Amino acid sequence: MSQDAIHSYFQNVISYANGLVQGNEILLCNLVAEDSTFVRFNNAKVRQPGSVLQYLFSFRLIQGKKHCATEIMLSGDFEQDKAQISSIFSSLREKLTMLVDDPLLLINEDVKSTVHSSPSQLPSHQAMVDEILERGQGTDLVGILAAGGIYRGFSNSLGQSNWFASHNFNFDYSMVHSADKAVKSSYAGTEWNSAEFSSSFDLAKRKLSILQRDSKDIDPGKYRVFLSEVAVGEILGLLSWGGFSLQSQRSKSSSLNALIEGEEALDPRITIKENVIQGACPQFQSQGFLSPDSITLIENGKHASSLISPRSSREYGVDNNGAASYETPSSLDMAGGALDSNEIISTLDTGLYISNLWYLNYSDRMACRMTGMTRFATFWVENGEVVAPVNVMRFDDTLYSLFGTENLQHITKERQFLLSASSYSNRSTESMRLPGVITSMNFTL
């Protein structure tokens, strides 16, 4: 279905639903939709192609301070869906009679309608698949290509309507050498560039050739390391669950409490933003509040601000900044540094080149101490030369050590746009734009 047809269908649904509102009721409606193609590869062959066209609607009915909601997957046939929409209201009204007031309820009553609709610049799915198959010849290539339109919509019965439509692709893939020896990579964006894809693939192949050498065991200890943009993303991804949340910070459960209270600091070169305007997500959330173009979370190594949802805004008496209910970032952006990416190996000199980190969790949340594993394409570098792949290791270290002044040595000036490959229930719109870093890391196993 075309982008215009999906938008028209959304408008028909919300117009019909708003017409069912009675008395002092207020209706909030959210849409999560997509028109996606998925292609699974194994051994450089297509194993499972398929497509998904889905419309997940959420209807929240509010009466005073009482509210309840339900989600339903609609068919996309408006005439057929009207009966289901109508029946939802009877159910919601019945539930409202059994509920108590919610003192933290806050919705946007300042009507601000927006439309962000980007035309597709993607080649045909067949063209992308053909190029992947051509480049993958002679390798044990496994992965999933997800591509197509992603749509988000919000409306309320007060007259607000917000629409977001984008088209992107994400090829999340690995090249397997043997057993657990593999190179993991991805290529994602809104425009398919054959030269960029070729460069990504060639880098993965060079790493794969190194994996064919005899592996090296490294003793536990502290080592100079290069963390790729993807590895940095794993660290910031763990940090995102509660770290930047006002609710977590006020309840003292945030892993960044020591930074917030001034007991710890990061290197002055560390600046991290929620940069929605340059990300891949909508600039509105489920209560109808709009987010600013960007929010500086950490500036020059120090805490700057937090992500504030409407509920936290009500609870703590501060202005919200358009954060979703979980108060997790959707478009993290870390400032680049001065290191040219072509000089990473020579600058590292001797140490570990780490392409990916895996299975991260907190070993001490209040100290922002993390633990995790190396897994894909970790190499020992000696005197500016890549010597051998390194067997799996476990690290345990704090953010303040990894990104602190004592250990953080270099940040690449080039940054990579990382689009989330998550497709649980729907394709994610989360993204990161990150540099790589040279620092020191403590390994325990």
Q: What is the pLDDT of residue 30?
A: 98
What are φ and ψ of residue 364, in 5° steps? -155, 95
DSSP H helix total and E strand total for the chain = 10, 22
Cα–Cα distance for residue pair 318/246, rounded to 1 Å: 10
Q: What is the pLDDT of residue 118?
A: 86
String of b and e for 187-204 (b: at least 16 CB within 10 Å)? bbbeebeeeebeebbeeb
Interval 151-165 mean pLDDT: 98
pTM: 0.94
Q: SS3 for 289?
A: coil
Interval 362-388 mean pLDDT: 96
Q: What is the pLDDT of residue 178?
A: 81
Please enumerate in sequence order all residues whose Cβ is within 8 A of that of 93, keeping only pairs 6 or more positions apart, or say none: 61
Q: Which tens digits make up the pLDDT trace of 177-198?
A: 887 789 999 999 999 999 999 9
Q: What is the pLDDT of residue 2?
A: 87
For the stretch 121-125, contacts whose Cβ atoms lie closer than 8 Å and that sit 24 or more positions apart, written own/partner, are: 121/167, 121/190, 121/191, 122/147, 122/148, 122/167, 122/168, 122/169, 122/190, 122/191, 122/192, 123/192, 125/37, 125/39
Q: SS3 for 242?
A: coil
What tokens does 77 get?
A: 């046939």
Q: Which tens digits make up the pLDDT trace of 264-323?
A: 999 999 999 999 999 999 999 999 999 999 999 999 999 999 999 999 999 999 999 999
Q: Which tens digits make up the pLDDT trace of 41-81?
A: 999 999 999 999 999 999 999 999 999 999 999 999 999 99
Count Cα neighbours of 379 within 13 Å in the Cβ-side half-sphere.
27
pLDDT at 1 over 80: no
Interval 209-228 mean pLDDT: 95
Cα torsion through 58, 64, 65, 69, rounded to 10 = -20
Q: Which tens digits make up the pLDDT trace of 85-94?
A: 999 999 999 9
The secondary structure of 192-240 as a DSSP string is --HHHHHHHHHHHHHHHHHHTSPPB---SEEEEEEE-HHHHHHHHHHHH
Q: What is the pLDDT of residue 54?
A: 97
pLDDT at 366 over 90: yes
Q: What is the pLDDT of residue 180?
A: 76
Q: In the chain, what percentage of residues exceed pLDDT 90?
A: 97
Q: What is the pLDDT of residue 375?
A: 84
Domain boundaries, the chain: 3-211, 221-443
Q: What is the pLDDT of residue 226?
A: 98
Q: SS3 for 433?
A: strand
Strand partners, 46: 41
CATH class of segment(s) 3-211 = alpha beta
Cα–Cα distance for residue pair 367/427, rounded to 1 Å: 33
**What is the identity of the amino acid at 219?**
D
**What is the identity of the amino acid at 180?**
D
Cα–Cα distance for residue pair 99/119, rounded to 1 Å: 44
Q: Which tens digits make up the pLDDT trace of 221-260?
A: 999 999 999 999 999 999 999 999 999 999 999 999 999 9
Interval 371-388 mean pLDDT: 95
Please enumerate in sequence order all residues whose Cβ is within 8 A of that of 239, keeping only pairs 6 or more positions apart, or say none: 255, 256, 368, 399
Q: Which tens digits make up the pLDDT trace of 92-136?
A: 999 999 999 999 999 999 999 999 998 899 999 999 999 999 999
Average pLDDT, the chain: 96
Q: What is the pLDDT of residue 334?
A: 98
Residue 18 binned pLDDT confidence (cut-offs 50, 70, 90) = very high
